[in-house]
């Protein structure tokens, strides 16, 4: 077995940035390579993003969609995992620098796969994020879970009609797959799941609004499936507002502008931002050092073999790349990282290159509610129950780990056949920690001592202990030598 501590620079060193679809599948594809593989990622889990909305709405637990990367890779002897956010990639010295709290790690590489994905984009209005969390991480999903279920709780104890209405209005911004799935699930929660749980409020009166500046729902699915999805959402009780551009978001609601220039406001405590993505800022670093292009979403222009211009040793895959109008979907990341891994193996083994990367489109799908989805595979289009069954089968196959597949199936039975949502737990910290951490200049690092500070504090404690011991010895001596009460010379 290869002990990470004994890995030597004699073997080819591959560094993989990210533990998402690109990072994990790329690392696994290198399992038989004559190389040491180091995965550097800022979370300890692999995240199955397509099911985040189910964590936010209480169907699945976070563990079911975010298994520990270390556990997934524990049987792969040539792979090790390092926790840390990559802050610097140096193409000249071929090193990757990562940080966690105050600790910095520099990892050298011979080949690099960059799969750092994309984050939420508020189109330059980052202050919207304070009141409208995105849907990109487990933190986001748990915060939203707390906000959504918390809104019903606050409405139950309010006597103010306006406030109740504001609390029972949910706005999802962005009518792509994430927004559609989120709006559908909140509507099901309000109209079906929670209807018997409260005594003072009628959860079925909740408003769920799906809002987008674009003129249609699900643009990547084409006009036909888009209008079918909009109709299905409306049947569920979701208000679909199109051509509405959000101009401001605050604690109590949001404002938007219609195409004719009129401005309107919706009073809503809970807002979900599912509108835009921006590629990892590591793309900009790579572009600046290599001269590669960046598009408006920060995605980097790569060569047809997914390498960085002028740097055949660096592959960029998944949501970070702009190549042939490839969509930001899991299969692009999975297939891209497997291609990059194969190329690295070919080079180590002295085999010829594979030729350009070719994406095989296996289709796309989005759920609207239980038993209803839209799907496209090649030229075929599916809607309703059949599409939903396809969605169920596919997601079951791709959830990582047999145990997670079994428990997810159980939770789906509870939620889709029954009315239950077994994962409704949320805490005050989950709701407010993001905002609280943002107020600290150094984020979470401000809450822990830098390396060495503990030792310094320990030596201070030693000094104090020495004083205390001397004082105690003096007290003992005074008593034992009967010095108490003895007049001291003036
Ligand atoms: C809510 C949601 C729903 C989606 N639904 C679908 C769907 O139904 N079907 C579909 O095909 N696609 C879907 N997608 C898109 C799909 O998840 C992405 O296309 C895919 O995850 C891209 O893979 P990736 O490896 O490029 O990035 P990711 O999977 O996002 O992985 C990026 C990794 O890099 C890590 N990372 C980021 N920055 C750093 C750094 N500086 N240092 C260290 N590590 C870093 C992250 O922690 C993460 O591990 C959805 C996405 C979201 C957000």
* Any atom of ligand 1 within 6 Å of the Cβ of 340: no
Is pLDDT above 60 for 8? no
Phi-psi domain of 291 (left: phi exceeds 0; alpha: psi -120 through 50; beta: other)? left
Strands 12-17 vs 111-114: parallel, antiparallel or unpaired: parallel
Quick one: pLDDT at residue 37? 98
181 catalytic, yes or no?
A: yes
Mean pLDDT over residues 291-309, rounded? 97
Placement of tokens 């793309």 in the chain? 283
Domain 126-275+364-438 adopts which CATH fold? FAD/NAD(P)-binding domain (3.50.50)
Four-residue CA torsion sign, 234, 238, 244, 245? negative
Q: Is the CB of 279 under 6 A from ligand 1?
A: no
φ/ψ of residue 173, rounded to 5: -100, 120
Q: How far apart are CA 390 and CA 1, in angstroms?
A: 41
Would you say 267 and 250 are in contact if contact means Cβ atoms under 8 Å apart? no
pLDDT at 464: 76
* 3-state secondary structure (DSSP) of residue 460: helix
- Which residue's alpha carbon is at the smallest distance from atom 25 of ligand 1? 22
Parallel, antiparallel or unpaired: strands 169-173 and 270-273: parallel
d(CA 127, CA 288): 27
Q: Give yes or no for residue 344 CB within 6 A of ligand 1.
A: no
For 435-446, how does the pLDDT look when each residue is reduced to its tens digit (9 = 90+)?
999 899 889 998
The DSSP letter of residue 261 is: S
Q: What is the pLDDT of residue 454?
A: 73
- Is residue 36 scored above 80 in pLDDT? yes
For the ranges 100-104, 267-271, 397-401, the maximum mean pLDDT occurs at 267-271
Q: 246-255, 318-327, 441-450, 480-489: which range is least confident on average?
A: 480-489
Atom in ligand 1 nearest the alpha carbon of residue 87:
41
> To which residue do tokens 């009609």 refer?
161
Architecture of domain 12-42+84-120+278-349: 3-Layer(bba) Sandwich (3.50)
Is residue 136 lining ligand 1, measured as CB closer than 6 Å? yes
Q: List residues bridging with 113 in a β-sheet.
A: 16, 315
> pTM, whole model, 2 decimals?
0.90
- 172 ligand 1 Cβ < 6 A: no
Is the confidence at residue 452, as pLDDT, over 90?
A: no
For residue 3, the model assigns a pLDDT of 39
Q: What is the pLDDT of residues 167-211, one digit of tens each?
A: 999 999 999 999 999 999 999 999 999 999 999 999 999 999 999
- Band (pLDDT 50/70/90 cuts) for residue 457 is confident
Determine the distance separating the centroid of ligand 1 and the alpha carbon of 478, expressed in angstroms: 71
Closest Cα to atom 41, ligand 1: which residue?
86
Rounded to whole angstroms, how far apart are CA atoms 252 and 245?
18
319 alpha carbon – ligand 1 mean position (Å): 7
Q: Rounded CA gap, 409 and 413, in Å?
A: 6
Among candidate residues 64, 143, 181, 343, the one labeled active-site is 181
Give the distance (Å) from ligand 1 centre to CA of residue 209. 26
Asked if residue 104 has pLDDT above 50, the reply is yes
Instruction: Give the CA distances from residue 19 to residues 29, 38, 83, in Å, rounded to whole numbers and listed in that order.
Output: 13, 11, 10
The mean pLDDT of 228-234, rounded to a whole number, is 96
Whether ligand 1 lies within 6 angstroms of the CB of 23 is answered as: yes
Domains 12-42+84-120+278-349 and 126-275+364-438 share a fold: yes
Judged by average pLDDT, the poorest of 31-40, 152-161, 461-470 is 461-470
The pLDDT of 315-330, averaged and rounded, is 96
- Kindly indicate the confidence band of residue 1, based on its pLDDT and cuts at 50, 70 and 90: very low
The predicted-structure confidence for 115-165, as pLDDT tens digits, reads as follows: 999 999 999 999 999 999 999 999 999 999 999 999 999 999 999 999 999
What is the position in ligand 1's atom list of the atom closest to the CA of 282? 41
Per-residue pLDDT, 450: 83
Residue nearest to atom 29 of ligand 1 (CA): 20
Q: Are strands 364-369 and 253-257 parallel, antiparallel or unpaired?
A: unpaired
As a whole number, mean pLDDT of residues 37-54 equals: 96
Residue range 78-101: mean pLDDT, rounded: 97
Name the average pLDDT for the chain: 93
By most ligand atoms within 8 Å of CB, the mutation choice from 49, 315, 394 for ligand 1 is: 49
Q: Where are the domains of the chain?
A: 12-42+84-120+278-349, 126-275+364-438
What is the Å distance from ligand 1's center to 214 Cα?
A: 24
The pLDDT of residue 6 is above 50:
no
CA separation for the pair 336, 333 (Å, rounded): 5
Residues with Cβ within 8 Å of residue 138, at least 6 apart in sequence: 43, 45, 47, 52, 55, 62, 65, 66
Tokens (6 digits) for 23: 């990072």
**Beta strands, E only, 84-173:** 85-90, 95-100, 103-108, 111-114, 118-120, 169-173
pLDDT value of residue 9: 66
Count the Cβ atoms, other than its own, within 10 Å of residue 445: 15
Per-residue pLDDT averaged across 263-288, rounded?
A: 96
Return the number of other C-beta atoms located less than 10 Å from residue 346's C-beta.
Answer: 13
Please, which pLDDT band fits residue 4 given cuts at 50, 70 and 90? very low
pLDDT for 277 beyond 60: yes
Tokens 């009518």 sit at which residue? 175
Which of 117, 136, 179, 316 for a ligand 1 pocket mutation test, highest count of atoms within 8 Å of Cβ?
Answer: 117
Q: Which of 177, 274, 272, 185 is nearest to 226 (CA)?
A: 177
**Ligand 1 centroid vs 452 CA: distance in angstroms?**
35
Q: Quick one: pLDDT at residue 2?
A: 37
Residue whose pair of structure tokens reads 């569920």 in the numeric block: 236
Asked if residue 283 has its Cβ within 6 Å of ligand 1, the reply is no
Average pLDDT of span 222-239: 95
């Amino acid at each position: 077995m290869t002990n990470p501590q004994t890995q030597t620079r004699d073997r080819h060193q591959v560094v993989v940035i990210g533990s998402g679809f690109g990072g994990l599948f790329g690392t696994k594809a290198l399992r038989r390579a004559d190389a040491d593989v180091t995965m550097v990622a800022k979370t300890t889990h692999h995240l199955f993003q397509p099911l985040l909305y189910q964590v936010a709405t209480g169907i699945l637990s976070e563990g079911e969609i975010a298994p520990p990367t270390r556990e997934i890779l524990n049987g792969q002897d040539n792979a090790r995992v390092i926790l840390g956010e990559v802050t610097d990639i140096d193409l000249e010295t071929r090193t990757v620098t990562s940080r966690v709290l105050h600790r910095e790690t520099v990892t050298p590489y011979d080949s690099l796969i960059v799969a750092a994905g994309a984050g939420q984009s508020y189109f330059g209005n980052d202050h919207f994020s304070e009141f409208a969390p995105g849907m990109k991480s487990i933190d986001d999903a748990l915060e939203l879970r707390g906000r959504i279920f918390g809104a019903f709780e606050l409405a139950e104890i309010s006597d103010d009609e306006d406030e109740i209405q504001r609390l029972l209005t949910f706005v999802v911004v962005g009518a792509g797959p994430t927004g559609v799935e989120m709006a559908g699930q909140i509507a099901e929660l309000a109209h079906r799941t929670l209807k018997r749980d409260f005594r003072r409020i009628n959860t079925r009166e909740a408003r769920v609004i799906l809002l987008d500046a674009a003129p249609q729902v699900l643009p990547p699915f084409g006009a036909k499936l888009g209008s079918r999805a909009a109709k299905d959402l409306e049947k569920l009780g979701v208000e679909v507002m199109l051509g509405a551009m959000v101009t401001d978001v605050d604690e109590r609601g949001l404002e938007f502008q219609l195409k004719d220039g009129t401005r309107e406001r919706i009073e809503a405590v809970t807002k979900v931002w599912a509108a835009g993505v921006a590629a990892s800022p590591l793309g900009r670093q790579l572009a600046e050092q290599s001269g590669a292009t960046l598009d408006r979403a920060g995605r980097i222009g790569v060569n047809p073999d997914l390498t960085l211009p002028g740097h055949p040793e660096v592959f960029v895959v998944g949501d970070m790349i702009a190549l042939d109008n490839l969509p930001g979907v899991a299969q692009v990341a999975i297939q891209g990282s497997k291609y990059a891994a194969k190329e690295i193996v070919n080079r180590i083994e002295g085999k010829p290159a594979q030729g350009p990367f070719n994406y095989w489109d296996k289709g796309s799908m989005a759920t609207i509610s239980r038993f209803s989805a839209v799907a496209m595979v090649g030229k075929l289009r599916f809607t309703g129950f059949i599409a939903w069954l396809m969605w169920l089968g596919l997601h079951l196959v791709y959830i990582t780990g047999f145990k997670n597949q079994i428990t997810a199936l159980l939770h789906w039975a509870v939620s889709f056949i029954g009315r239950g949502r077994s994962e409704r737990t949320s805490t005050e910290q989950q709701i407010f920690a993001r905002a609280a951490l943002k107020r600290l200049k150094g984020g979470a690092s401000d809450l822990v001592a830098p390396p060495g500070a503990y030792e310094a504090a320990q030596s201070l404690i030693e000094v104090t202990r020495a004083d205390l011991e001397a004082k105690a010895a003096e007290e003992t001596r005074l008593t034992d030598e009967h010095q108490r009460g003895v007049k001291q010379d003036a």
